[in-house]
């Protein structure tokens, strides 16, 4: 296996779903497969980068040459990100982070109640992991790439999210098309990135996630090169 050169950029990627415990045996989660994030990690390693993949629970093998850190909850993913992102050149938030977690997970297994037909869960907001990386002080802040799953007006919503979260680049998937996005091996996407002149964008036709991953990594590395040149 080719060892990354000493000057190889360090890239940190989050992938997969998060799991938010309700009690010792139950959790809230989503259907993210982790395929896109793992494909990005593999593509980045092939480009010679030094890659750390922070992964939620997924059924995928670790790509060759990638350092993998397994986490379960959004808070654990946030903690690992806070530890690693300030030392990275590029951060890619590809994880489907749960927006909420149980306010107070039960210490023991919740019992079915004898009376009543409803049970109310109180949820609290999880940290926005990518926004916290984007908000790091300039000398610690990597280039930040986010993802957005949209079903309509993809480019416009992606532009909004790029600005709102303070990202450098965003990849917006069209999840309305059958056979694309969640769980699938194919993705169609818009890539939008910030330049000193404004926002540039490019549309990518439906293609295997592995191929799209290569395009995203090369675009992000090119952007990194222009920003480093400006500094």
Catalytic residues: 30
Backbone torsion region of residue 197, taken as left when φ is above 0, otherwise alpha when ψ lies between -120 and 50, otherwise beta: alpha
Q: How far is the CB of 147 from ligand C5P (least distance, A)?
A: 4
Q: How far is the CB of 42 from ligand C5P (least distance, A)?
A: 18
3-state secondary structure the chain: CCCCCCCCCEEEEEECECCEEEECCEEECCCCCCHHHHHHHHHHHHCCCEEEEEECCCCCCCCCCCEEEECCCHHHHHHHHHHHHHHCCEEEECCECCCEEECCCCCCCCCCCCCCCCCCCCEEECCCHHHHHHCCCHHHCCEEEEEEEECCCHHHHHHHHHHHCCCCEEEEEECCCCCCCCCCCEEEEEEEEEECCEEEEEEEEEEEHHHHHHHHHHHHHHHHHHHHHHC
- In the complex with ligand C5P, which residue's Cβ is closer, 63 or 93? 93
Task: Point out which span in 21-29, 53-61, 109-117, 126-134 binds ligand C5P (CB under 6 A).
Answer: 126-134
130 binds ligand C5P (CB under 6 A): yes
126 binds ligand C5P (CB under 6 A): yes
Q: How far is the CB of 149 from ligand C5P (least distance, A)?
A: 7
97 binds ligand C5P (CB under 6 A): yes
- The contact mask relative to ligand C5P for 138-157 (x = CB under 6 A, - = no) is --------xxx---------
Q: How far is the CB of 130 from ligand C5P (least distance, A)?
A: 3
128 binds ligand C5P (CB under 6 A): yes
Task: Point out which span in 50-58, 88-96, 112-120, 199-207 binds ligand C5P (CB under 6 A).
Answer: 88-96
Find the binder of ligand C5P among 93, 142, 181, 214 (CB under 6 A): 93
| The total number of residues written for the chain in this structure | 231
Please report, in range form, the residues annotated as the binding site.
Answer: 93-95, 99, 109, 127-130, 147, 161, 165
**Residues near ligand C5P (CB under 6 A):** 14, 74, 93-95, 97, 126, 128-130, 146-148
């Amino acid at each position: 296996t080719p060892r990354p050169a000493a000057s190889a950029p360090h890239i940190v990627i989050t992938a997969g779903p998060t799991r938010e415990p309700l009690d010792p045996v139950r959790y809230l989660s989503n259907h993210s497969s982790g395929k896109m994030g793992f494909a990005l990690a593999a593509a980045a390693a092939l480009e010679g980068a030094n890659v750390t993949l922070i992964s939620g629970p997924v059924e995928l093998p670790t790509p060759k040459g990638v350092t993998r850190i397994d986490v379960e909850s959004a808070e654990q993913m946030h903690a690992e990100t806070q530890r690693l992102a300030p030392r990275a050149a590029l951060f890619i938030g590809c994880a489907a982070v749960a927006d909420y977690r149980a306010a107070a997970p039960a210490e023991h297994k919740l019992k079915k109640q004898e009376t009543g037909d409803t049970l109310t869960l109180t949820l609290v907001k999880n940290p926005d992991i990518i926004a916290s990386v984007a908000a790091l002080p300039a000398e610690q802040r990597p280039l930040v790439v986010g993802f957005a799953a949209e079903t309509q007006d993809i480019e416009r919503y992606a532009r909004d999210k790029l600005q709102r979260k303070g990202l450098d680049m965003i990849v917006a998937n069209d999840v309305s098309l059958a056979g694309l996005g969640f769980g699938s091996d194919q993705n169609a996407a818009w890539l939008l990135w910030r330049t000193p002149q404004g926002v540039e964008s490019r549309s990518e036709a439906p293609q295997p996630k592995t191929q799209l991953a290569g395009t995203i990594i090369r675009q992000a590395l090119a952007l990194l090169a222009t920003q480093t040149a400006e500094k």
